[in-house]
Chains A and B, each alone.
Chain A
C-alpha cells in the first residue's frame, strides 16, 4: 500500500528524500532544480531543506515534496524517520570522493531493507564539472546501480548539466509505481483504515480513471 501518496484534487503528491554525505551537493542539486540558481547569493528562499516543485508529466499533475536530510555521520541513525513513507530517494555522491560513494551503497542497502521495492532509488553522481579529479568511474557506478535495481545519473549542479533529467525520470517512475499500486489496491479490496485514495488521470492508456476510495 503506497500510503503516503496523497491526492488533492487530481494532483499526485510524492515525497522524495535526499540522502548522502555532507558536502556532496545535495542542497545545490535541489536549488538548481527548483530555483535554477547555483550561486546561493542570488536565492530568494530562506531555506533549502524543504522544497516543493509542481510538474505536469504527460498530463498527470504532480507535486514533488523534496526533503533534505542532515548528512553528517552522527545523524545517520535518524535516517528511518526521514525516509519513512517516501516514494522516491535521491542518493547523492561526489564523483571526486570515493567515500561518499560507499556511503551511498550503505544507504541503498538500508533503504531496500526498510522500504523494499516500493521506493524508487536514483543514484546521482554530482560535480561532473570536476571530471579531472574523478575518483568514481562511471562504469563502476552504473554497474552497481543496475545490480540493486536503481537508476544511475551523473550531473553537475554548478554547470546545470543533467539535473532536469534526473527529476523527470524519477517522477515518471514514481507515477508508474503509484498507478500499479493503485490498481493492486483495487483488486485486493483494501479494508477501511488509513489507505489514501489516488486519483489518476491517464492520457496514454485507457485505464479505469478517477478512482475514488473504497467503501
Chain B
C-alpha cells in the first residue's frame, strides 16, 4: 500500500463499489437494493409475503385461542412491533434445547433468515447477568429456576395479545408460584444457602421484565394517548413555579438549583430503564436529590412529607417526564408486590402516584387562587406577576443576579478610580508648586536669562490652583523652557 493521503478514502470507495455488496443477499445472482434490505426485487417480494403470513398466523392464532375482540382492535396498532415479537418468540423456542448461551448464540447465527434480529443489547446483558447470578447457586436449583423463568418468558411472549391486566395477573401468578416453590425448596431453606428467596425473586423479576419489556410496556395505545395528554397539560402549567406550590426551596442557592436539576434528570431517566427495580432506583435517587435540596435550603433539618410532596410535584412540572403514567402502570403491574407496597421504593412510588394525581387534577382551588386567574395563566392570556413568592426559581433571575453582581463590582472599581484621580490631581498641584518655587529661585539667581518667563510667573501659581487642567501644560512648558535654558 502506498502512503498516499487519499488511501483511506480510496479504500472506503473500493468497499462500496465491490460487486459482491450489490448482489442480492439470497445469492440469486441479481442485484439487490438497500431499500429492500439488500435483496433483489424478486426475493424481497417473497420475503415480504413470508413475513406477512407469519404475522397473520400470529394474529389468527391469538384470535382463535383467546377470542379477544379487544385484541383484534389492537392488532392494527401493534403490527409494527408484532414482527419483532414473532421473531422473539421464534428465538426463544430455539433456545429451549440448548443450555449454554454460547451455543444459543451460535445457533442463532446459523439460522439467519431474512430480517431476523438478535436479542437487543439490554436483553443480552440481562441474560448474562441472570446466568452469572444463577452460576453461584447449587446446580439443580439453578437449573430449576432458569427453566421456570424461561418457561414464563415464553408464556408471556405467547400471550402477548391478551388484555394487559390478564398479562399482569399471569406475571404476578408466576412470581407467587415461584416464591412458594423457592420457599419450599430444601436447598433454599438450607442454613448455608448464600441467597434468600427474596433475592432470587428480584433477579428473576428483573430478567423477566427486561426480556419481555416490549410486550409488557405501554401495550395499550390509549395509555400512550393519556400520557401525551398529560404532557400537554404539564406544558400548559409551565407557569406554576415553586412559589405557587409553597415549597421551601431556596432557589438563590446554587447548590439547591443543582440538586433540583439532578432530581429532574433522574425522573426523566425512569423511562429509559427497563427493569422495574432500575426504574424505582431512579425514583429513589430523584427523591434523595429533592431531600438534599430541601436540606440545603434550610440549614440541615430533615424534611418531612409536608415539604417533600410539593417539591416532587414541582419536579414533575419542570421535568415533564415522558410516558410517566405508563411507567407507573408498568411498575405496579409487573413489579414484585413487595417493591411497590413496602420499603423505601414503595413509599416513593406512592408519593409519585400522589404527585401525578395532583398534577392531573390541579385547578384553581389546589393553588388557592381565583378561577379566572388560573384559567388566564393556563391559556397563556396572562402572565403571572413576578412576586417574591413565585419568581424564586426563574432562570432569568439567575442572570439578573449575575448582572447585579457585576454592576456592583463596576461601581466599586469606579470609586477607587475616582479616588486615584483625586490623588493624582493633588500630586500634580503639589509638584507644580514645587516646580514653580524652583523655577522662581532659578530666575532669581539668574535674572538676566529671559524676561518672558518671569513675566508669566506672578499670575500662574494662583491660576493653576483653580484650573488644574491647564496646570500640566503650563508646568511642562515651563520645565521644558527651563531645561532648554540649562
Contacts and interface: CB of A to CB of B under 8 A. Distances in A.
Interface string A175-206: 00000000000000000111011000000000
B105 to A, nearest CB: 37
A4 interface: yes
Interface stretch (B51-59, B342-350, B434-442): B342-350
A212 B246 CA distance: 49
Contacts of A68: 304-306
Interface string A1-38: 00010101100010100000010001100010000000
B304 A41 contact: no
Contact of A49 (B196, B303, B368): B303
Contact of B350 (A22, A47, A81): A81
A65 B343 contact: yes
B291 interface: yes
B306 A213 contact: no
A6 B295 CA distance: 32
Contact of A81 (B184, B353, B367): B353
B60 interface: no
B341 A70 contact: no
Given A193-B176, A215-B180, A15 B302 contact: no
Interface centre among A70, A81, A193, A212 (most CB of B within 10 A): A70
A31 B302 contact: yes
B67 to A, nearest CB: 24
A192 B176 contact: yes
Interface string A68-104: 1111101101100110110000000000000000000
Nearest to B337: A194
A50 B283 CA distance: 14
A46 interface: yes
Contacts of A59: none
B302 A75 contact: no
Given A4-B341, A74-B368, A47 B357 contact: no
B116 interface: no
Given A46-B295, A50-B344, A193-B176, A8 B198 contact: yes
B354 A78 contact: yes
B347 A50 contact: yes
Given A43-B301, A49-B304, A74-B366, A82 B341 contact: no
Contact of A78 (B304, B346, B358): B358
Interface magnitude class on chain A: 35 or more
Interface string B178-195: 001001100000000000
A75 B358 contact: yes
Contacts of A70: 305-306, 308-310, 354
Nearest to B295: A46
Interface centre among B246, B291, B299, B302 (most CB of A within 10 A): B302
A49 B300 CA distance: 15
B292 interface: yes
A194 B172 contact: yes
The 7 A-B pairs with the shortest beta carbon distances in the complex, nearest first, are A40-B301, A27-B304, A68-B305, A70-B309, A50-B347, A78-B354, A49-B305
6 contacts: A31-B302, A45-B302, A47-B287, A47-B291, A48-B304, A70-B306
Interface of B: 172-173, 176-177, 180, 183-184, 196, 198, 246, 287-288, 291-292, 295, 299-306, 308-310, 337-338, 341-344, 346-348, 350, 353-354, 357-358, 361, 365-368
Interface of A: 4, 6, 8-9, 13, 15, 22, 26-27, 31, 40-41, 43, 45-50, 65, 67-72, 74-75, 77-78, 81-82, 84-85, 192-194, 196-197, 212-213, 215
